[in-house]
Structure 1
Amino acid sequence: MKLIVAVQEPVTGDLADAGPSWQDLHAIELERPLIDAEMDLLDVEIALLARPVSELDQRRLRRATNKVLAARVEVANRLGAGEAA
């Protein structure tokens, strides 16, 4: 009986480097206000799927959208100022 053995190197590589680097974590931290604002907008949009839209709901949606836009400007200004480096 012949033994069948893999001839190639393992594809997974070294699992010690499997997590994100500190640069990746720093970039995520810089984008945290935008991530939070987008999650709030998503919560509002999900809530609006279940019921008719009232005037209050329209204001909540508009406020959440404006919060996302403001967070995008803030993140773009940070990245433009070289804070991500």
Structure 2
Amino acid sequence: MTHIAAVQAAVTTIPFDGEPTDAELDAIEREMTLVLAEVELLDAQIMTLDRPASELDERRLRRARNRVLAARRDLTNRTVSIGGVA
């Protein structure tokens, strides 16, 4: 019987501790407005799943979509200006 052994050393030498880095936490904080806007949109969509959307529901959905678009725009503009392109 032939035994098979690894020829190379392990790819990762530093064990992963499972905690996010400071850079990852900063990125999450920058994107939090967008995340909250998307959660609000999802909540509005869930509320209309089991019944026809009323006029109030339609306004709620439209406002939530607009908040998501505004948050994406702001995040993109902030990213571009930080990157030095603008």
Match of 2:53 in 1: 53
Match of 1:19 in 2: 19
User: Number of matched residues?
Assistant: 79
Gapped regions of structure 2 (runs ≥ 5) = none
Cα 1:50/1:12, change in 2 over 3 Å: farther
Match of 1:29 in 2: 29
Gapped regions of structure 1 (runs ≥ 5) = 1-6
Map Cα deviations across residues 22-64 of structure 1 (whole Å, 9 max, x no partner). Answer: 1011011000000000000000000110211111110000000
Match of 2:66 in 1: 66
Q: TM-score, normalised by structure 1?
A: 0.77
Q: TM-score, normalised by structure 2?
A: 0.76
| Identical aligned residues as a percent | 48
* Shift in Å, 1:80: 0.8
What letter is aligned with 2:55?
E
What letter is aligned with 1:40?
E
* Shift in Å, 1:81: 1.2
What letter is aligned with 2:57?
D
Distance, in Å, in 1 between the alignment partners of 2:51 and 2:12 is 47
Whose relative contact order is higher, 1 or 2, with alpha carbons under 8 Å and at least 6 apart? 1
Where 1:31 maps in the other structure, the secondary structure is: helix
